Amino acid sequence: MHLPDLRADFPLLTRTVRNGKDLVYLDSGATSQRPQAVLDAVRDFEERHNGAVARGAHLLAEEATGLFEAARSSVATLVGASFDEIVWTENATAAINLVASGIGNASAGIGGEEAALFRIGPGDEICVTETEHHANLVPWQQLAIRTGATLRWIPVDDLGRLILDDLDTLVTERTKVLAFTHVSNVTGVISPVATLVARAKAVGALTVLDACQSVPHLPVDVKDLDVDFAAFSGHKMLGPTGIGALYGRKDLLDALPPSIFGGGAVTVVSMDSTAWHEAPTRFEAGTQPVAQAVGMGAAAEYLMELGMESVEAHEREIGHLLRQGVAEIPGVRLLGPVGSADERDVIGLAAFVVDGVHPHDVGQLLDDRGVAVRVGHHCAQPLHRRFGVTGSTRASAHVYTTPADAEAFLSALAEVPAFFGVSV
Amino acid sequence: MSSLEQMYQQVIMDHARAGHGRGLKDPGLIHVGESHQVNTTCGDEIRLRVGLDGDTVSSVSWEGQGCSISQASVSVLSELVEGESLATAEETMEAFRELMQSKGEPLDDDREDLLGDATAFVGVGKYPARIKCAMLGWSAFKDAVIRAGKDQA
- Report whether pLDDT(A283) > 60: yes
Last residue of a domain, one of A237, A272, A304: A304
Mean pLDDT rounded to a whole number for chain A: 96
Residues A300 and A312 in one domain: no
Interface test with A, best of B67, B126, B131, B135 (most A CBs within 10 A): B67
Residues A405 and A261 in one domain: no
A361 chain-B contacts, CB cut-off 8 A: 8, 67-69
Tell me the β-bridge partners of B42: none
Residues A176 and A324 in one domain: no
pTM above 0.90, yes or no: yes
Tell me the β-bridge partners of A4: none
What is the structure's pLDDT at B153? 47
Query: A133, A126, A131: which is closest to A152 by C-alpha?
Result: A126
Domain that holds residue A370: 7-30+308-419
A376 chain-B contacts, CB cut-off 8 A: 41-43
What is the structure's pLDDT at B41? 80
Which pLDDT band holds residue B152 (cuts at 50, 70, 90)? low
Q: Do B127 and A364 touch (CB under 8 A)?
A: yes
Q: How far is B71 from chain A (nearest CA, A)?
A: 10
pLDDT in tens, A202-219: 999 999 999 999 999 999
- Asked if A311 and A215 count as a contact pair (C-beta separation under 8 A), the reply is no
pLDDT in tens, B60-115: 999 998 999 999 999 999 999 999 999 999 999 999 999 999 998 999 999 999 99
Q: How far is CA A174 from CA A104, A116, A129, B139, in A?
A: 17, 16, 17, 46
pLDDT in tens, A346-391: 999 999 999 999 999 999 999 999 999 999 999 999 999 999 999 9
What is the structure's pLDDT at A405? 98
What is the structure's pLDDT at A293? 98
A213-239: average pLDDT? 98
More confident residue, A2 or A84: A84
Q: What angle do CA A409, A413, A414 make, to 5 degrees?
A: 120
What is the structure's pLDDT at B20? 95
Q: How far is CA B7 from CA B2, B10, B34, B73, in A?
A: 9, 9, 29, 12
**Does the residue A18 lie in any domain?**
yes
Residues A186 and A228 in one domain: yes
A50-69: average pLDDT? 93
ipTM for the whole complex:
0.88
**Does the residue A36 lie in any domain?**
no
Residues A237 and A321 in one domain: no
Residues A290 and A319 in one domain: no
Q: Do A377 and B42 touch (CB under 8 A)?
A: yes
B44 chain-A contacts, CB cut-off 8 A: 358, 390-391
Residues A347 and A300 in one domain: no
What phi and psi, each to the nearest 5 degrees, are found at residue A247?
-90, 140
Residues A242 and A389 in one domain: no
Q: Do B67 and A365 touch (CB under 8 A)?
A: no
- The side-by-side arrangement of strands in the sheet containing A150-154 is A86-89, A244-248, A229-233, A206-210, A175-181, A125-129, A150-154
Of A365, A376, A390, the CB nearest to B65: A390
**Does the residue A209 lie in any domain?**
yes
**Does the residue A1 lie in any domain?**
no
Which pLDDT band holds residue B22 (cuts at 50, 70, 90)? very high
A357 chain-B contacts, CB cut-off 8 A: 68
Of B8, B17, B43, the CB nearest to A391: B43
For the domain spanning B3-152, the CATH number is 3.90.1010.10
Q: Do A376 and B8 touch (CB under 8 A)?
A: no
Query: What CA–CA distance (Å, rounded) separates A243 from A290?
Result: 9
**Chain B CB within 8 Å of residue A375 CB:** yes
Residues A88 and A157 in one domain: yes
Residues A299 and A343 in one domain: no
- Report whether pLDDT(B57) > 70: yes
Which residues, in sequence order, are CB contacts of B128 under 8 Å at separation 6+?
A: none
Q: How far is A418 from chain B (nearest CA, A)?
A: 13
CATH number, domain of A252, equals 3.40.640.10
Residues A209 and A314 in one domain: no
Residues A163 and A278 in one domain: yes
Q: Can A379 be counted among the known catalytic residues?
A: yes
Q: What angle do CA B102, B106, B110 make, to 5 degrees?
A: 110
**Chain B CB within 8 Å of residue A160 CB:** no
Of A19, A368, A390, the CB nearest to B43: A390
Percentage of chain A surpassing pLDDT 90?
Answer: 93
Structural domains in chain A (count) = 2
What is the structure's pLDDT at B151? 59
- Asked if A179 and A143 count as a contact pair (C-beta separation under 8 A), the reply is no
**Chain A CB within 8 Å of residue B8 CB:** yes
Q: What angle do CA B128, B133, B137 make, to 5 degrees?
A: 135
| Cis check: omega of the bond before A280, within 30 degrees of 0 | yes
Q: Do A360 and B69 touch (CB under 8 A)?
A: yes
**Chain A CB within 8 Å of residue B133 CB:** yes
Helix A403-419 / helix A308-328 crossing angle, nearest 10 deg: 20
**Does the residue A133 lie in any domain?**
yes
Query: If residue A39 lies in a helix (H) or strand (E), which one and from where to where?
Result: helix A36-44
Query: What CA–CA distance (Å, rounded) separates B144 from A121?
Result: 42
Identity of the amino acid at A383: L
Query: A112, A78, A23: which is closest to A237 by C-alpha?
Result: A78
What is the structure's pLDDT at A56? 80
Q: Do A360 and B13 touch (CB under 8 A)?
A: no
For residue B131, the SS3 value is helix
Choosing from A39, A379, A389, A414, which is the catalytic residue?
A379
**Does the residue A173 lie in any domain?**
yes
Query: What CA–CA distance (Å, rounded) separates A364 from B7?
Result: 10
Indicate the length of chain B as a whole number.
Answer: 153
